[in-house]
């Protein structure tokens, strides 16, 4: 998790020929987002990719303006690629191992939004905090 995105790069040639079709799918998803506002998710783990192929995909998509980091049961990295609306979401476990990776085509990945339940809980917590006599005294 350094400045530039680190990928699990392995040397190898393109072997499965899944790279181009997948990128085309991203293009179609983007068109759908423009036309109907429909969002899409692609699970990169569900597609057989040879060592190095995932890297090719990620390098093609590149890095855009947004780079966010979550801390929720281990880190997660959410970046907007150089193509606006195409997001790359990588979840890691507590040991910094990738546990899943998605390409989301959306205006804003849902996981970045503050969640209703968390907001409600936050409200309760803040209220409780403010009831703390020490604070009131100040």
Partner 1 sequence: MTDRSSDKEKTLGDALRSQGVSRRSFLKFCAATASMMAISPAMIPKIAEALEKARKPSVIWLSFQECTGCTESLTRAHATTIENLIFDSISLDYHHTLQAAAGHAAEEAREVAMKENHGEYLLVVDGSIPMGDPGYSTIAGISNYDMLMEAAEGAAAIISVGTCATYGGLPMAKPNPTGAVSVGDLIKDKPIINVPGCPPIPVVITGVLTHFLTFGAIPELDHIGRPMVFYGQSIHDRCYRRPFYDKGLFAETFDDEGAQKGWCLYKLGCKGPTTYNACATTKWNNGTSFPIEAGHPCIGCSEPRFWDGGGFYKALSMPTQDIGKTAVYTAAGAVAAGVAIGGLNKLTKSGAAAAHDKTTIDDLEKE
Instruction: Give 32 or 136: the residue with its C-beta nearer to partner 1.
Output: 32
The answer to whether residue 110 forms part of the interface with partner 1 (CB under 8 A) is yes
Other CB atoms within 10 Å distance of the CB of residue 111: 16
Q: What are phi and psi of 64, to 5 degrees?
A: -105, -140
The answer to whether residue 86 forms part of the interface with partner 1 (CB under 8 A) is no
Among 59, 107, 115, 132, contact with partner 1 (rule: CB under 8 A): 115
Among 45, 62, 69, 107, contact with partner 1 (rule: CB under 8 A): 45
Beta strands in 31-116 (DSSP E): 40-43, 67-71, 75-80, 86-92, 98-105
CA–CA distances in Å: residue 26 to residues 53, 55, 79: 16, 16, 15
Instruction: Give 8 or 137: the residue with its C-beta nearer to partner 1.
Output: 8
User: What is the C-alpha to C-alpha distance for residues 86 and 50, in angstroms, rounded to an integer?
Assistant: 23
**Which residues make up the interface to partner 1 (CB under 8 A)?**
12, 15-17, 41-43, 45-46, 48-51, 70, 72-74, 76, 89, 91, 93-95, 97-102, 110-111, 114-118, 121
């Amino acid at each position: 998790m350094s400045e530039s995105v680190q990928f699990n790069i392995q040397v190898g040639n393109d072997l499965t020929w899944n790279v181009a079709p997948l990128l085309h799918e991203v293009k179609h998803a983007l068109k759908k987002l423009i036309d109907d506002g429909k969002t899409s998710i692609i699970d990169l783990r569900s597609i057989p990719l040879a060592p190095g192929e995932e890297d090719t995909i990620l390098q093609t998509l590149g890095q855009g303006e947004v780079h966010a980091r979550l801390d929720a049961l281990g880190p997660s990295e959410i970046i907007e690629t150089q193509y606006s609306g195409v997001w790359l979401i990588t979840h890691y476990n507590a040991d910094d191992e990738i546990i899943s990776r998605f390409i989301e085509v959306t205006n804003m990945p849902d996981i970045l939004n503050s969640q209703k339940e968390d907001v409600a809980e936050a409200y309760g917590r803040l209220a409780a905090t403010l009831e703390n006599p020490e604070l009131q005294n100040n």
